[in-house]
A and B are shown apart, each in its own frame.
Chain A
Amino acid sequence: MRRVVVLGPQRHVITVTEELRLLGLSGRIATITAGWQEREAEDDELSAALGNRAVNLRLHARTDDVFAQDRQLFSAHRRRQDSLRQLQDIYRLRLDHLMASASMLMTRAGPPEIVEPERADTIEQLRALDAHHLRRIRDVHDVFEQQELPGERRALAQHRAEVQGILAECDAVAIAGGHVSTLIGRMRLLDVASGMIDKPILAWSAGAMVLTERLIAFHDRPPEGAGNAEILDVGLGLAPGIVALPHATSRLKLDDNARMALFSRRFAPADCICLDAGSRGRLTGRSWQFTDGTLRIDRDGHTVPASVEAP
């Protein structure tokens, strides 16, 4: 039975130690800190929090080594990145216009029987665009896999085998936060997911995001002005049914009910879970449990305890 734990940021409130204890694991823990990029190896504090049983998979460094050895693969990877970047730009363009009308409709006064069907239809258009974009991203990844056959390339195959070997000797996997695109990219290239499907996983911040079905980037308070949450990539799908929202309190305008209602309805049926410091969610099989204090954004845009079932 799959066991996945998603947590809020660990910098100030460390909960991973207790969750590890609750899982009753005594063996080694494979850690993934690729989201920290060049600082991947600076994991002393993390290792201590995991009882000094951590084995860092060094996915960032391994990927750099693969690309240094296999320039052809590196070039193909860059072409894929270019394609994804262009796709994202076009998606953003379309998204901006749909979001503008949807946002206006969310606050539009009028008889509910007139306005609500229009809102619902606009949200459906948004959902269709998101789904379309996700398909396009998946297509780009598929083309890369089919054309480059990364699993058959010597340097990559060697690193993949080493990673699988380490995973086989570990009792659980811990995935830290960081740069979410870097993290998913390196995990995907080294095919980490296949080696951790049957292991307990503890993940926080960006680590929790990559486990969900869709990577959704969001920030309502960047200096360039509030942006629209956007589909960024395909997730690993190991923590289904939720949208993981690290630092939700500081990154989202949670008190803007209309904005949050649109957010929640756009990504339904997944539950939008606020992963602030101290938040915890545990998936056992197909069932999620959330600790007290962990919040969910309901379909009306209010934050409610995630432990309370949605009506």
Chain B
Amino acid sequence: MILAIQQLERQPGLDSRAIDAFIRHNRFPLIEGAHVTFVWRGHADAVHLRHWVFGLASAQPFHRLSHTDLWYLTIDLPRGSRFEYKFDVVRGGHGQWIRDPLNPNIAHDPFGANSVCQGEGYEIPDWCQHDPDARQGSMHELILNNTAFGGPRPLTVYLPARYRETRRYPLLIVHDGGDYLRFARLKTVLDNLIHRLEVAPLIVALTHPKNRMDEYPNDPHHAEYIVEQVLPFMERNYPVFGTPAQRCLMGASFGGVASLSTAWRYPGVFGKLLLQSGSFAFTDIGENKRGPAFDRVVEFVNAFRENPGRPAEKVYMSCGTYESLIYENRSMVPFLQSHGLEVRYDEARDGHNWENWRDRQQSALAWLFPGPLWFVYE
């Protein structure tokens, strides 16, 4: 297979107009089967692809098309892959990280935004796009006073469409609620999946940390806040089932650690956990090598693996195969199963990011809270 960039390179008398036409007639990055070609045009000393794909060198050098200002890099990418990246453009010894100016696909996260490479076979799920037919749930901004942290905390509550006080609903408590709403379209996802009858109508409490790096790794104040303040507040004020089987705690990355550690500290409270790319770093021997931010995480996960107890009955886990945490997540699955928990685990060719966590919501929520699809025969 001759790639488009190779055809361009072979053009006799390659000039600026030919490059203009090449850029005008293609979409970038250029996906040709399993081959992905990134291009950047301009004057530079070097250009690198910077990405968050664990397993590949984190900086991959571009090549300059001879005697032109077009830089390119072709990599092989397994089918269905999706990853986020930037270009590192080096001039005069200084590198500048920029988004791919030719790629309109951008993913936002709390640190800014990245360009997105969608490999062959990857599609944004239709259920995370706005559906004008889907009935909208409602959002309510609240404040919980006198929390375990010593001050007030905001809490966002999602009520499903057609909410009725005379019904009972399962309760989902979400870590990093604001990020899930902004970067993983959680409200749209909930509205759509509930509308499609794939997920049961839920009441969702979205929590917002002040300093997640401090609060999430097995902090007793955090666990107290969730179990002794958020949960009773929700059960006092909303018609939720109030049984462990109908309560779920959810989080991604350190939020996964917060979910697991909270459920571990309060066994029997949550029947379900939804853990996405949990930062379940541990050591079998020796020191933690992930840096000080992980010290308390490793301490917790080691303690958990020593004495897991029964933090929940049903656990949904997911992780991207391009994450550095893939080993830890894979090893957690048989560990939990061997202690009697029912586990469903999904992997995707994606990294540690919010759109990966968005794309897993259907399988996660439909498994944990199956909707009335089974019961509706119109």
**Residues in chain A within 8 A of chain B (CB atoms):** 9, 11, 35, 38, 64, 67-68, 78, 89, 177-182, 205-206, 209, 217-219, 222-225, 227, 232, 246-247
Residues of B within 8 A of A246 (CB): 377
Residues of B within 8 A of A67 (CB): 166
Residues of B within 8 A of A178 (CB): 376-378
Residues of B within 8 A of A217 (CB): 374-375
Given contacts A222-B198, A223-B198, A224-B370, contact A205 B362 (CB under 8 A): no
Complex partner residue of A223 from B363, B375, B376, CB under 8 angstroms: B363
Q: With the chains together, A222 CA to B373 CA distance in Å?
A: 7
Residues of B within 8 A of A219 (CB): 373-374
Q: Judging by beta carbons under 8 Å apart, are B366 and A223 in contact?
A: yes
Q: Name which of A11, A217, A223, A232 has the most chain B CB atoms within 10 A of its CB.
A: A223
Q: With the chains together, A246 CA to B375 CA distance in Å?
A: 11
Instruction: Give me 16 other A-B pairs in contact (C-beta within 8 A), A9-B378, A89-B245, A224-B366 excluded.
Output: A35-B377, A68-B166, A177-B378, A178-B376, A178-B377, A178-B378, A179-B372, A182-B375, A205-B378, A206-B376, A206-B377, A217-B374, A222-B366, A222-B374, A223-B363, A247-B377
Q: With the chains together, A247 CA to B374 CA distance in Å?
A: 12
Q: Judging by beta carbons under 8 Å apart, are B375 and A180 in contact?
A: yes
Residues of B within 8 A of A218 (CB): 374
**A contact patch SS:** mixed
Closest to A215 in B: B375
Q: Judging by beta carbons under 8 Å apart, are A180 and B166 in contact?
A: no
Residues of B within 8 A of A225 (CB): 367
Residues of A within 8 A of B362 (CB): 223
Q: Judging by beta carbons under 8 Å apart, are A181 and B375 in contact?
A: yes
Interface bin, chain B: 10 to 19
Q: Judging by beta carbons under 8 Å apart, are A180 and B370 in contact?
A: no
Q: Report if B236 contacts A (CB, 8 A).
A: no
Q: Report if B162 contacts A (CB, 8 A).
A: yes
Q: Judging by beta carbons under 8 Å apart, are A179 and B376 in contact?
A: yes
21 contacts between A and B (CB under 8 A): A11-B378, A38-B162, A64-B166, A89-B245, A177-B377, A177-B378, A179-B372, A205-B377, A206-B376, A206-B377, A206-B378, A217-B375, A222-B198, A222-B366, A223-B366, A224-B363, A224-B366, A224-B367, A224-B370, A225-B367, A232-B375
Residues of B within 8 A of A68 (CB): 166
1/0 per residue, CB under 8 A from A, across B340-376: the answer is: 0000000000000000000000110011001011111
B187-222 residues with Cβ-Cβ distance < 8 A to A are 198
Residues of A within 8 A of B366 (CB): 222-224
Given contacts A64-B166, A222-B198, A223-B366, contact A180 B377 (CB under 8 A): yes
Q: With the chains together, A206 CA to B376 CA distance in Å?
A: 7
Complex partner residue of A180 from B162, B168, B376, CB under 8 angstroms: B376
> Smallest Cβ distance from B206 to chain A, in angstroms?
23
Q: With the chains together, A219 CA to B377 CA distance in Å?
A: 10
Q: With the chains together, A227 CA to B375 CA distance in Å?
A: 13
Closest to A85 in B: B245
> Smallest Cβ distance from A176 to chain B, in angstroms?
8
Residues of A within 8 A of B198 (CB): 222-224
Closest to A81 in B: B168
Q: With the chains together, A206 CA to B362 CA distance in Å?
A: 26
Q: Name which of B198, B363, B373 has the most chain A CB atoms within 10 A of its CB.
A: B373
> Smallest Cβ distance from A182 to chain B, in angstroms?
8
Residues of A within 8 A of B162 (CB): 38
Closest to A67 in B: B166
Q: Judging by beta carbons under 8 Å apart, are B374 and A227 in contact?
A: yes
Residues of B within 8 A of A205 (CB): 377-378
Q: Name which of B363, B366, B370, B375 has the most chain A CB atoms within 10 A of its CB.
A: B375
Residues of B within 8 A of A179 (CB): 372, 375-376
Q: With the chains together, A227 CA to B370 CA distance in Å?
A: 11
Closest to B342 in A: A93
Closest to A182 in B: B375
Q: With the chains together, A181 CA to B372 CA distance in Å?
A: 10
Q: With the chains together, A38 CA to B166 CA distance in Å?
A: 13
1/0 per residue, CB under 8 A from A, across B158-173: the answer is: 0000100010100000
> Smallest Cβ distance from B219 to chain A, in angstroms?
33
Given contacts A38-B162, A64-B166, A89-B245, contact A222 B370 (CB under 8 A): yes
Closest to A9 in B: B378
Q: With the chains together, A35 CA to B197 CA distance in Å?
A: 14
Q: With the chains together, A67 CA to B165 CA distance in Å?
A: 13
Closest to A232 in B: B375
Residues of B within 8 A of A35 (CB): 376-377
> Smallest Cβ distance from A266 to chain B, in angstroms?
17
Which 9 A-B residue pairs are closest in the complex by CB-CB distance? A206-B377, A223-B366, A224-B366, A246-B377, A224-B367, A205-B377, A177-B378, A217-B374, A177-B377
Q: With the chains together, A148 CA to B185 CA distance in Å?
A: 46
Residues of B within 8 A of A64 (CB): 166
Q: Name which of B166, B168, B367, B378 has the most chain A CB atoms within 10 A of its CB.
A: B378
Q: With the chains together, A9 CA to B373 CA distance in Å?
A: 15
Q: With the chains together, A67 CA to B363 CA distance in Å?
A: 35
Q: With the chains together, A209 CA to B378 CA distance in Å?
A: 11
Residues of B within 8 A of A206 (CB): 376-378
> Smallest Cβ distance from A256 to chain B, in angstroms?
19
Residues of A within 8 A of B378 (CB): 9, 11, 177-178, 205-206
Q: Name which of B168, B198, B376 has the most chain A CB atoms within 10 A of its CB.
A: B376
Residues of B within 8 A of A9 (CB): 377-378
> Smallest Cβ distance from B85 to chain A, in angstroms?
30
Q: With the chains together, A224 CA to B374 CA distance in Å?
A: 11
Residues of A within 8 A of B372 (CB): 179
Closest to B168 in A: A78
Residues of A within 8 A of B363 (CB): 223-224
Q: With the chains together, A177 CA to B378 CA distance in Å?
A: 5
